[in-house]
Chains A and B, each alone.
Chain A
Amino acid sequence: MKALSPVSEIRLPAITTATPLSIELMDASYHFRDLKHLLGAADISKAGERIAGLAAQDEVEREAARKLLSSLTLQQLYDMPLLDNRGKIDAIMQVNYDIDLTKFSDISALTLGELKNHLLASNGEEIRAVGQAMTGVMVSALAKLLDVHELILLAKRLKKSASAKARTRVGLSGTLSSRLQPNHPTDNLSGMTLLAYTGFSMGAGDALLGLNPAIDTVENISATLHHLDKIRRETGAPTQICVLSHIKTQLACLEQGAPVEIMFQSLAGTESTLTGEFDVTVELLDRAYNTMREQGPLIAEGAENMMYFETGQGSELTYNKHEGIDMATCEALCYGLARRYSPFMVNNVTGFIGPETHVDNFEMTYSCLQDHFMGKMMGLPMGMAPCFTLHSQITAEGQQMATELLTAAGANFFMDVYLGNDRMLAYFDTSGHDDQTMREIYDLEPAPEYLQWALSRGIFARDDDGQLQRGPNWGKPEQFCQSELDYQRLLESVPAAYGFDNAGPRPADEVTRTLRSNQAIAREAIYADLDRDLLAAIGPQRWLTTEATDKHEHLSNPELGSHLSAESLASLTAENSDVQIVISDGLSAEAVHHNIPQLIPVLQDGLASRDYNVGMTTIVPYGRVKLCEPVGEALNTRLIILLIGERPGGDAQASRSLSAYFAYQVTGEEQAEAAAFSGNPDIRWEYTVISNIYGGGLPPLEAGSVIAEKAMQILGFGAAGNRLEARLKQSAA
C-alpha cells in the first residue's frame, strides 16, 4: 500500500464567487445560477433532485444544461470548485483535487464534449489515465453527457486493470465476484453461519464475507470477526472477512487483536455529512489507512488493498447536507475521497434509502450505471448493489434488469443476500442465485484463488470443453456442516429462508413463490389506505391531514408527513391534555388495521386508571414520526403517543408491525434538565419508542398495557428517552 500524500500539499484553485451560466437553445435562453444548478439540471430527473430543487423543469432545459456543460473546458471546471454553505472548499472537495496534474495539463483545454469524444475512441489504459487527472465534479459532469450505451461501453473498457488484491484478486477481466452478506436481525452466530455456508455453496463470497452488524460495540464486532474468521478457516474458502461497523469500532477491535482483514467505512460526498452524520474525518480515514498499512492482518499474505468503502447516491440529500450539490456529483466526490486510499472494494448501494432519492426502476438503474462508470473512471474497483425497499416503486424485475446492465458494464462484484431479502436491514438486494445466473449468462468466473477451492469442493466443475459449470455440490450448504444435526440447528436460526431447493442456478419455484408472495403482501401493506369503517369501532375520534395530499407524495417526501396541513392546524386549539393518542398509517396501514382494534381499548383502560386528561383519539393519514411535535404544540399536550405503521421488510407477518412513539414535551425545569442531559439547549421534545407490535412480536393486547405502563412512567418521572431510562435506573437503585 502506498504512502499517503499530505492533504495540505494538494494544490487548490482560488476561491471565486459563483458564476451564473447561460445558453441559448432555439429561441429560448436558459440561465443556471451556478455550476451546482447546471450539474443538477443536466442529469435525468430523480426524486432527490426534485426535492432539492435541482432537477431540470423539462427535457429541453435538461438538454440545454447538457449542451452548456459540454462546452465547458476541464480547466473551467477545475477553476470552479463547488463550495460549501460557508463558502469554503471542504475537506472532501480538497482531496478530490489530488489529481495527476501532468496528465491534466494535456487535457485541460478540452471541452467536456471533446473529452467524451476522445474517451469513446480510446482504450482502457488511456481512459484510466484521464480519470486520474479528473476531480469528482469533472467526472460527474462527463457522466451527464453519456447515454446508457456509453456509460456501459466506457465502464466495460475500464474493467481491465480495475482489479484489487487482498487475499483474493477481485475484478479481473472475465470474472464476476460477490460479497456474501449473512446479515441476521440479532447477529445470531448460527444464523450467519448458515447464510455463509449457503453463499459459499453457491460459489459466492469470493470478494468478501462481510456482515452488517445489528449491535455496533467493540465486544460484539470483535466476537463476530472471530466467528467469521472461524467460518473462513473451517470451510477453507479463500476470501477475506469484514464486519461493517464504524471505523472507530474496527480500529479498537484491531487493537485488541481481532482479525480486521478489511477496514470498512461508509463515505459521503460532503464534509458536513461525513463528519456531522457519519462521525468521520479525512484525518480519521488517513489514520485507519495507515494502521492497516502497518498492522493489517493480510499484509503477510501479499494484500495490496485493504480498505472497503460503501457509497450510494442520496445520503447527503437525506440529511439535508448536500450543500446544494446534486446526488450524482456528491457520489463522484465520494469516489475522489475513496481513491486516496486505493481500496480493495467500493460498493455502490443505490435504492437502499427509498423513494425520496430514487422512486422507480428507471431512476435507480440509471444512477447505478452512472455510479459504476464514475467509480471505474476514477480508478476504483467498483462493485454494485442495485437494490430497493418496498416503499419505493422499484420492483424485483427492475432490479434484475439493472443487474443485467451492470454485468454487461463489467461490475467487479454484486452482493449475495440469501434470496435477496436482507433479514436485518429490511431491503432487497441481489442474491447468490443472481450472481451465478449472471456468471452463466455472461460466461464469467469467480476470482481465481476462490475458483480453485470451489473446483476442489465440487461446487464448480469444468466440462469437456473446459467451460465452468455448477458442480455436484453447488447449492448444498450442508456440505460444510459436521453432521445432520448441526445443519438442523443452523436451519432453525434463520428467518425468511423459505427453503434451500434450487432449479439450476435459480431458487426452486416454490421458494420463489413464497418469497414473492411475502413481498407482495408486505408491499400491499404500504399502499393500502386507512380503513375508516374499521377504525370507527375504536370509539370517538377526529381525523386530521398532513401536508402530504396523496400516497405518492407521502412516500416520496418524508417532510410532508411531518407537518399538519394548514387546514388541520387551524382547526386545533390548546386542550392542555396529559396524553394525546395519535394514529397514523406511516408506512403500513395494515399495521394499524391489524393491531389498533385490540390495542386501543387496553391502552385507554390503562390511561383511565390514572385519571389522566386524555384528548380525543386522533387519526392522521400519511403521517411521519415528527408529526408528534406540531400536533402536541397545537393541542398543548404533555405526552403524544403516536401509533404508526413501520416500514415493511420482506416478511408478510412483520409487514403488519406497528410502533408506539412517545413524544414528551419538556417545559420549565424539565426543559432545563433535558437540555443539560442531552447537551441540546433548544430541546423541546424527548422520545421513547416501543416497536415490533404485531401478532408474531409484541401482540396488540399485551402492547396496550406495555404502552400504558410506559406512559405512566414518562408522566410520573417527567422524562422520556435516555433521561427516563436514567431516572428509572436511579429509582431502582
Chain B
Amino acid sequence: MPDTQLPHADEDRQSPAHTPASAGSRLRLLGLDFGSTTSSMMVAEAEIGRHSLTGRMGLGEPRILHRSQPVFTPFRQQTLDETAISRLLDDWLQQAGWQPGSASPAAGAALITGLAARSDNARTLARLISERIGDSLIASADDPRLESWLAFMGSCATLSRAHPQHALINLDIGGGTTNPALGINGQISACGCFYIGARHLTFVPGSYRLSGLSATGQSLLHHLGIDKQPGDDLSPEEVAQVVRLMVEALESIASGDGNFFRQSDCHQQLVQVPFPAAAALDTPRLITFSGGVGELIYRHINGHGWPGTSYFGDLGVDLARAIVQSGVLSAALHIQPEHAGRATVMGLTLHSCDVSGSSLYLSHPQQLPLRDLPIISRLPADTGAGGWQQALALAAGCRQGACLSIEQSGQADHHSIRTLADNIRNAIRAVRLPPSQPLVLLMDTNLGKTLGQYITDWGKEPRALFVIDEIPLREARFVQIGRPHQHIVPVSFFGMN
C-alpha cells in the first residue's frame, strides 16, 4: 500500500536529542527495505560510545540524514528490473550524500521480502547493493521474524521503555503481511508473521472494482463465498466481510487466541509464523500499529480525514477504519509509536547493528568482516566439556567459519573463566578445528579479551579466534561481524526464522 501521496507530519522534525555532536566516533547506517510492493531507504548517523546509564557500548544520538519516499518496487512481471533498481539505488545514495570512500565506517542492512525475496531477485539485489555499498551491509531475504523485530524496534522501542509496566504488542501491517512483535521495557520477547495485509485484494482506485488478487485474497473470497474475479465489482458488504475477517484475525493475534486460526484451511493459511506469546501475558497490554495501515490509523487519530474509497487501490483505508472501530484493537490508540509508516526501514537503519564492547579478543583483525556466519549453538557458560565438544564439532564443519553464543548467567570469577576457556580449548583440540578456520564467540558480558587470552594461552596457540563481548544475544541463525573501528566491531544478526 503506497503512501507516497501522504505528507509525513514528522518528516524533518528532529528533537534536540537527535542533534549530533561533532565529537566522538560515528557510524553511518543504511537501511534498505525492498518489498513486493514498495521499497524505501534511509541513511542515518550515530555515535559509538558507552551509554552513560547502562555502561554498555552502543549507538547513540542517532540523526536521520536522509529518508526516501517509498516507491513502487520495479518489477518486470515477477523479476526485478535490474536497470530500474540500479537507477533507484544510485539516486538514493546520491540524495543521501553517501560517499563510498568516507572515513567514517558504515553498517546497516537490506531487508528483502515477498516477491523481491525470490532467490533470483534476492541475488540481484544483493549484488547491486554490494557493488555500491561494499561488504559492510547484510542482505537478508524473507526473514519475517526479523521484519517483525525491526518494525517494533523502529517504532516502539522508546515507547515501550516509557511504559515499562505494560506489554506492548506492535502489529506492523503492510501490503502482504502483518508482523506482530511483543516487547516489555524495550526488550522483544516474541515475533510472528501472518498473511494479513492491505493488498491481497487490489482495486481500481476510487472503486471496489477488483484489479488483482493474491493467493491469500483468493482463499479469503472463497472462504467467504464471494465469487468475484478481477474486473468484477465487490459490494460494500462484501468488502466489509473481508475486512471483518481480517480484523478478527488481528484481534486474535493481539489476544493470543490460536484457536481462531484453526477454524478452517483459510484461517490456517493466514499463519506464516505463529504468535502465541500474547496468550500468556499477565501484564496489561498496549496495542500499537505500524506499517502503511498503521500510518493511516494514526493520521486519523491525529485529526486528519480518511482518504476516499480505495484511495490507494487496496483495502488499506477500509482495514484502518475497521481497526479504529474494534474495541480490542483501538483501546490504546492514544499511545502512538513513532515512524509508523516507516517502522521497518527505521528499524533496519538504526537497530540492525549492535556495537561490541571495546575490549575484545581479535586474533586476526585483518580477517574481518566475517559474513554470513552460522550461529551453531547457544550455550550457558557452565556447559560441561561434552557440550562444548558437540558444538565445536558442528563448527568444524563450517569451513568459512562459525559462531557460538555464550550465555553468562551467574557472576564469573577467575576459576569459572579459566574452566570455560579450558573446556573450549580442549574441545577445539578434540575436534581438530583448523587454526586458520575462523571461530567467533559471542558473549553478552564484558569478558571477551580475558576469555580469548585464556583459550589461546595468551596468544601462544595461534588460532583465528574472535571473542566479541557486550553483545545482546539474539535468537538468530546468522551473524555478521564488521571491521574493527576504534576498538569495537559492529555486529548484525539475521535469519530469525
A interface residues (Cβ-Cβ under 8 A, vs B): 184-191, 193, 215, 217, 219-220, 222-224, 227, 230-231, 234, 423, 481-490, 492-495, 598, 601-602, 605-606, 609-610, 696-699, 701-702, 704-706, 708-709
Enumerate 26 A-B pairs (CB-CB under 8 Å) in ascending A order.
Answer: A186-B49, A186-B52, A187-B23, A191-B52, A193-B17, A219-B22, A220-B21, A220-B22, A223-B20, A482-B15, A485-B338, A488-B159, A489-B15, A606-B453, A609-B457, A609-B459, A609-B460, A697-B55, A698-B359, A699-B446, A701-B412, A701-B413, A701-B417, A702-B450, A705-B450, A709-B449
The CA of A315 and the CA of B93, in the complex, are separated in Å by 54
**Which 7 pairs from chain A and chain B are nearest by CB?**
A220-B23, A609-B458, A488-B162, A223-B22, A190-B17, A705-B450, A219-B22
CB of B225 to closest CB in A, whole Å: 45
Determine if A495 and B53 form an interchain contact, defined as CB atoms under 8 angstroms apart: yes
Determine if A493 and B17 form an interchain contact, defined as CB atoms under 8 angstroms apart: yes
Residues of A within 8 A of B449 (CB): 702, 705-706, 709
Q: Which residue of A lies closest to B53 (CB)?
A: A495
CB of A701 to closest CB in B, whole Å: 5
The CA of A698 and the CA of B50, in the complex, are separated in Å by 11
The CA of A189 and the CA of B21, in the complex, are separated in Å by 7
Determine if A702 and B446 form an interchain contact, defined as CB atoms under 8 angstroms apart: yes
Determine if B359 and A189 form an interchain contact, defined as CB atoms under 8 angstroms apart: no
Determine if A696 and B338 form an interchain contact, defined as CB atoms under 8 angstroms apart: no
Interface size on B, residues (CB 8 A): 40
Q: Is B238 an interface residue (CB 8 A)?
A: no
Say what secondary structure dominates the interface of chain B: loop
Indicate the member of B17, B61, B460, B469 with the most A CB atoms within 10 Å: B17
Q: For chain B residues 405-452, which have a beta carbon within 8 Å of chain A?
A: 412-414, 417, 445-450
Contact of A485 (CB < 8 Å), options: B162, B453, B459, B469:
B162
Q: Is B104 an interface residue (CB 8 A)?
A: no
The CA of A506 and the CA of B454, in the complex, are separated in Å by 53
Say what secondary structure dominates the interface of chain A: helix
Determine if A188 and B359 form an interchain contact, defined as CB atoms under 8 angstroms apart: no
Extra 4 A-B pairs, beta carbons < 8 Å, given A492-B161, A701-B412, A705-B359: A222-B22, A701-B447, A702-B448, A705-B450
Residues of A within 8 A of B236 (CB): none
Q: Is B189 an interface residue (CB 8 A)?
A: no
The CA of A484 and the CA of B160, in the complex, are separated in Å by 11
Q: For chain B residues 228-284, which have a beta carbon within 8 Å of chain A?
A: none
Determine if B17 and A698 form an interchain contact, defined as CB atoms under 8 angstroms apart: no
Determine if A231 and B16 form an interchain contact, defined as CB atoms under 8 angstroms apart: yes
Q: Is B158 an interface residue (CB 8 A)?
A: yes
* Inter-chain residue pair count (beta carbon < 8 A): 126
Q: Is B76 an interface residue (CB 8 A)?
A: no
CB of B469 to closest CB in A, whole Å: 8
Q: Which residue of A lies closest to B412 (CB)?
A: A701
B468-494 interface code vs A (CB 8 A; 1 in, 0 out): 010000000000000000000000000
Q: Is B13 an interface residue (CB 8 A)?
A: yes
Query: Contacts A220-B23, A492-B161, A701-B412: A189 and B61 contacting too (C-beta < 8 A)?
Result: yes
Contact of A187 (CB < 8 Å), options: B21, B448, B453, B460:
B21
Determine if B49 and A485 form an interchain contact, defined as CB atoms under 8 angstroms apart: no
The CA of A231 and the CA of B50, in the complex, are separated in Å by 24
Q: Is B19 an interface residue (CB 8 A)?
A: yes
The CA of A606 and the CA of B61, in the complex, are separated in Å by 38
Q: Which residue of B lies closest to A610 (CB)?
A: B458
The CA of A397 and the CA of B13, in the complex, are separated in Å by 45
CB of B445 to closest CB in A, whole Å: 8
Residues of B within 8 A of A184 (CB): 52
Determine if B52 and A488 form an interchain contact, defined as CB atoms under 8 angstroms apart: no
The CA of A489 and the CA of B460, in the complex, are separated in Å by 46
Determine if A490 and B22 form an interchain contact, defined as CB atoms under 8 angstroms apart: no
Q: Is B60 an interface residue (CB 8 A)?
A: yes
Q: Which residue of B lies closest to A485 (CB)?
A: B158
Residues of B within 8 A of A191 (CB): 52
Q: For chain B residues 123-171, which have a beta carbon within 8 Å of chain A?
A: 158-159, 161-162
Contact of B16 (CB < 8 Å), options: A190, A699, A708:
A190
The CA of A234 and the CA of B50, in the complex, are separated in Å by 28
Query: Contacts A188-B52, A227-B16, A494-B52: A601 and B414 contacting too (C-beta < 8 A)?
Result: yes
Contact of A598 (CB < 8 Å), options: B15, B413, B446, B460:
B413
Determine if A227 and B458 form an interchain contact, defined as CB atoms under 8 angstroms apart: no
Determine if B162 and A484 form an interchain contact, defined as CB atoms under 8 angstroms apart: yes
Query: Contacts A220-B22, A490-B17: A188 and B447 contacting too (C-beta < 8 A)?
Result: no
CB of A232 to closest CB in B, whole Å: 11
Residues of B within 8 A of A487 (CB): 162
Determine if B17 and A486 form an interchain contact, defined as CB atoms under 8 angstroms apart: yes
Determine if A227 and B21 form an interchain contact, defined as CB atoms under 8 angstroms apart: yes
CB of B303 to closest CB in A, whole Å: 16
Residues of B within 8 A of A190 (CB): 16-17, 60-61
Indicate the member of A184, A193, A485 with the most B CB atoms within 10 Å: A485
Indicate the member of A190, A484, A696, A701 with the most B CB atoms within 10 Å: A701
The CA of A704 and the CA of B451, in the complex, are separated in Å by 11
Residues of A within 8 A of B445 (CB): 699
Query: Contacts A188-B60, A598-B413: A488 and B19 contacting too (C-beta < 8 A)?
Result: no
CB of A85 to closest CB in B, whole Å: 39
Residues of A within 8 A of B413 (CB): 598, 701
Residues of A within 8 A of B417 (CB): 602, 701
CB of A608 to closest CB in B, whole Å: 9
Q: Which residue of A lies closest to B162 (CB)?
A: A488
CB of B419 to closest CB in A, whole Å: 13
Residues of A within 8 A of B414 (CB): 598, 601-602, 701
The CA of A696 and the CA of B51, in the complex, are separated in Å by 11
Determine if A492 and B53 form an interchain contact, defined as CB atoms under 8 angstroms apart: yes
Residues of B within 8 A of A227 (CB): 16, 19, 21
The CA of A709 and the CA of B450, in the complex, are separated in Å by 10
Q: For chain B residues 279-309, which have a beta carbon within 8 Å of chain A?
A: none
Q: Which residue of B lies closest to A220 (CB)?
A: B23
CB of A593 to closest CB in B, whole Å: 15
Query: Contacts A217-B23, A609-B457: A701 and B450 contacting too (C-beta < 8 A)?
Result: yes
B42-62 interface code vs A (CB 8 A; 1 in, 0 out): 000000011011010000110
The CA of A222 and the CA of B21, in the complex, are separated in Å by 9
The CA of A704 and the CA of B162, in the complex, are separated in Å by 38
The CA of A701 and the CA of B16, in the complex, are separated in Å by 38
CB of B9 to closest CB in A, whole Å: 11
The CA of A697 and the CA of B414, in the complex, are separated in Å by 18
CB of A316 to closest CB in B, whole Å: 31
The CA of A602 and the CA of B460, in the complex, are separated in Å by 16
CB of A123 to closest CB in B, whole Å: 47
The CA of A34 and the CA of B390, in the complex, are separated in Å by 84
CB of B361 to closest CB in A, whole Å: 8
Determine if A493 and B22 form an interchain contact, defined as CB atoms under 8 angstroms apart: no
CB of A691 to closest CB in B, whole Å: 13
Determine if A189 and B158 form an interchain contact, defined as CB atoms under 8 angstroms apart: no
Residues of A within 8 A of B458 (CB): 605-606, 609-610, 708
The CA of A698 and the CA of B413, in the complex, are separated in Å by 14
Contact of A234 (CB < 8 Å), options: B16, B52, B60, B454:
B16
Indicate the member of A186, A234, A493, A598 with the most B CB atoms within 10 Å: A186
Residues of B within 8 A of A483 (CB): 15
Q: Which residue of A lies closest to B61 (CB)?
A: A189
Determine if A189 and B446 form an interchain contact, defined as CB atoms under 8 angstroms apart: no
The CA of A705 and the CA of B456, in the complex, are separated in Å by 13
CB of B333 to closest CB in A, whole Å: 14
CB of B297 to closest CB in A, whole Å: 17
CB of B347 to closest CB in A, whole Å: 15
Residues of A within 8 A of B17 (CB): 189-190, 193, 486, 489-490, 493
The CA of A423 and the CA of B53, in the complex, are separated in Å by 11
Residues of A within 8 A of B459 (CB): 609
CB of B319 to closest CB in A, whole Å: 25
The CA of A73 and the CA of B413, in the complex, are separated in Å by 72
Contact of B55 (CB < 8 Å), options: A188, A193, A602, A696:
A696
CB of B173 to closest CB in A, whole Å: 21
Determine if B21 and A489 form an interchain contact, defined as CB atoms under 8 angstroms apart: no
